[in-house]
Amino acid sequence: MKVQHLILVATFFYLAYTELVNGQPRKDCQTRCGNVTIEYPFGTSPGCYYADDPSFNITCNEREELIFGGNKVINISHTELRVWNDISYACYDSEGNVTEGVSYSYSLANLSLSRNNKFTLVGCNAFALLSTTGARDYSTGCLSACDSPPAGNGDCNGEGCCRTDVYVPLDSIGFETRPSSYGNMTVTHDFNPCIYAFLAENGTFHFNASEDLKNLRNVKEFPVLLDWSIGNQTCDQVGNRSICGMNNSICVNSTRGTGYNCKCLEGFEGNPYLSNEKGCQDINECISTIHKHNCSDPRTCRNKDGGFDCKCRSGYRLDTTTMSCKRKDFGWATILLGTTIGFLSILLLITCVQQRMKRRKTAELRQKFFEQNGGGMLIQRLSGPGTPNANVKIFTEEGMKTSTNGYDQSRILGQGGQGTVYKGILPDNSIVAIKKARLGDNSQVEQFINEVLVLSQINHRNVVKLLGCCLETEVPLLVYEFINSGTLFDHLHGSLFGPSLTWEQRLRIAVEIGGTLAYLHSSASIPITHRDVKTANILLDENLTAKVADFGASRLIPMDKEQLTTMVQGTIGYLDPEYYHTGLLNEKSDVYSFGVVVMELLTGQKALCFERPQQSKHLVNYIASAMKENRLHEVIDEKVINEKNWKEIEEAVRVAMECTRVTGEERPLMKEVAAKLEGLTVTKAKHQWSDQYPGEVTENLVGVGILSEQGDTSSTGYDSIKNVASMHVAAGR
């Protein structure tokens, strides 16, 4: 009997050893623990788990809980192990003292944390660390702050809850989570007595501020994903020595970065690591409720290894569109097919002809617009003598449409009386401003081309550069350099920018604008009157350098004329009262508008404000009244006043008042104004300015006519010479 027992024991161990060598578990291995299925290569005893790696040895305790590394296993998949993970926490009393808490450490064995986990901290004025141990230590953390209960739910955005990704080195053998407070917990104790830190599988924790900050310990644990793989070799390296079962499974390289996993072929299901009846078996799609066939008639479904076929009886064919059987009718089918092909061919030919005609018509229309907008004249002027410095690039309509994403609404930078300005991105990735003007008067094409050429030759650091134009559209498109820091109006009256401008910055901006206008009036090849000088037309770059823009209302004044009769254009509040009443344009109109801009810089007040008293709605009246009543300090922006600059401010006010005299003859020239302001940056003011232009302060009051005729901020009308609508030269933003 003893010999027989020895033989049986020897046989048992031999069979177990043979199965282990072949990479397969014993037939008597435990396959369930509680409600969890134990999937090979995991097992609970020798011979049942993959022998080359003890980390696949898991325990089923007396409570029928499957344990790995001290954690309860939820389920096992072919690449992942899902386990319960305890929460680390620390609790404080109302005086901020720690009353209880625990930090948990976990063993990873030869597995690794999946990237489908998140490290989460719940609490106010707290931080938490996730640290690993191994050949390379790794730590990551999270910080959360709040002094009152957060308003929203569901977002871990750093207020009451923060969440971060986890990238743990493969050679880590364990990890630990630790929460801690960094602030005064007495402030948050009533609604947040404890702070919590934990790992959780993506999508398993949703933050609820009203509940989680109070009692998250009602939840003891969260599921965590652990990645696993076989060995440390790739499929190519392991070759036919992999433990993947038989013919219906394949070896795939592990996504965790080391080793390999097994996978059933498409059309098969089961454990790809087994070669027995529990391994990858064919799915019978004809009867399966999960993997269903798509045959329209279930009676035609025929199962095969790795798939299925829909078999039709004799005389029928399978319609692969509907997966149904149709009667074969080769004669009619051929006729129908031929007719269909012929019809489609004719339709394709008609479509090609229509597309070609459409392209030709579009090309002809573009050429028509190009000539109508003065394209031929512009090319002739550019190639002829007289414009050696002109650098006008002619853009195509297709290029403009592409650069503005089809004139998309999101690309609009601004809209006004002169047209719409779009942000454009050229093929070289340079950013430009593209002005699409409103419909104008084609009779003024020559004047428009002249103005484009003149503006393109202006190479002044404080003038927005005109880069080119597109004449293939119904109205011309003008392309300008892109200035990215908003307008002077935005900086003075908006809320999108940082601290307000200092006195030095405002004075420098005034000097730059004044010098630019003086250049346009006196130094340009043909004098240019801007006609719409205002803070909204002064752009600022990243260095707060002023750039004069929007020449849409400008006029070129011939050298032999001091003034020009035009339709009245401009913006109420900045508009020269003399020009408003007479329609006679000269450079003194820009001087008046510039004076109002200087007043805005000094006071931080808008040019026209209906919230001020009746007689002070206009900024010129507002300052004139303050000077007359000896209370100038009350209207100057308090952010720029100090003991050292008051005399400079007073002198700047005098300059602005001289610029805004009602009669143009009594105003100084723009170059005189620019020189006076430039002098303020070098030396103290010399009180000689007012002597050159006699008159009382009260003469600066704006005529009643303008204020009583207020309407749209940008006036429109007809040219008093030609009695036709003007074509505007557009400006860039």
Q: Is pLDDT above 50 for 686?
A: no
Helix (H) or strand (E) holding 581: helix 577-582
Tell me if the domain spanning 375-481 has CATH number 3.30.200.20: yes
pLDDT tens readout for residues 3-22: 454 544 444 444 444 444 44
pLDDT tens readout for residues 309-368: 888 877 777 777 777 777 766 557 677 888 899 899 999 999 999 999 988 988 888 888
Closest CA to 86 of 175, 187, 213: 175
Amino acid in position 378: L
CB-CB contact of 440 with 553 (8 Å): no
532: annotated active-site residue: yes
Cα–Cα distance measured from residue 33 to residue 84, given in angstroms and rounded to the nearest whole number: 15
pLDDT tens readout for residues 568-602: 567 888 988 888 888 777 888 899 999 999 999 99
Architecture of the domain whose range is 488-708: Orthogonal Bundle (1.10)
Q: Please give, one letter per residue, the 3-state secondary structure of 1-24.
A: CHHHHHHHHHHHHHHHHHHHHCCC
CATH topology of domain 289-336: Laminin (2.10.25)
Cα–Cα distance measured from residue 498 to residue 503, given in angstroms and rounded to the nearest whole number: 15
CB-CB contact of 118 with 233 (8 Å): no
At 82, list the tokens.
Answer: 């899902």
Cα–Cα distance measured from residue 212 to residue 195, given in angstroms and rounded to the nearest whole number: 10
Q: Is 375-481 in the same CATH topology as 289-336?
A: no
At 526 the pLDDT is: 76
Strand partners, 252: 261
* Average pLDDT rounded to a whole number, residues 441-449: 68
The 3-state DSSP class for residue 131 equals strand
The 3-state DSSP class for residue 240 equals helix
CB-CB contact of 574 with 532 (8 Å): yes
At 70, list the tokens.
Answer: 């001290």
Amino acid in position 176: E
Would you list the domain boundaries of the chain?
A: 1-68, 85-227, 229-282, 289-336, 375-481, 488-708
pLDDT tens readout for residues 624-666: 999 998 989 989 988 888 878 899 999 999 999 999 998 888 9
- The segment with the largest mean pLDDT, out of 40-49, 305-314, 487-496, is 40-49
Q: Is pLDDT above 50 for 254?
A: yes
At 712 the pLDDT is: 37
Buried b (16+ CB within 10 A) or exposed e, 565-589: ebbbbbbbbbbbbbbbeebbbbbbb
* Average pLDDT rounded to a whole number, residues 114-133: 91
Neighbouring CB atoms inside 10 A of 343's CB total 10
Cα–Cα distance measured from residue 672 to residue 655, given in angstroms and rounded to the nearest whole number: 10
End-to-end CA distance of the chain: 104
pLDDT band of 718, cuts 50, 70, 90: very low
List 227, 532, 590, 637, catalytic entry: 532
Q: In CATH, what number does 229-282 get? A: 2.10.25
Residue 299 CB contacts under 8 Å (≥ 6 apart), including other chains: none
CB-CB contact of 43 with 56 (8 Å): yes
Q: Is pLDDT above 70 for 448?
A: yes
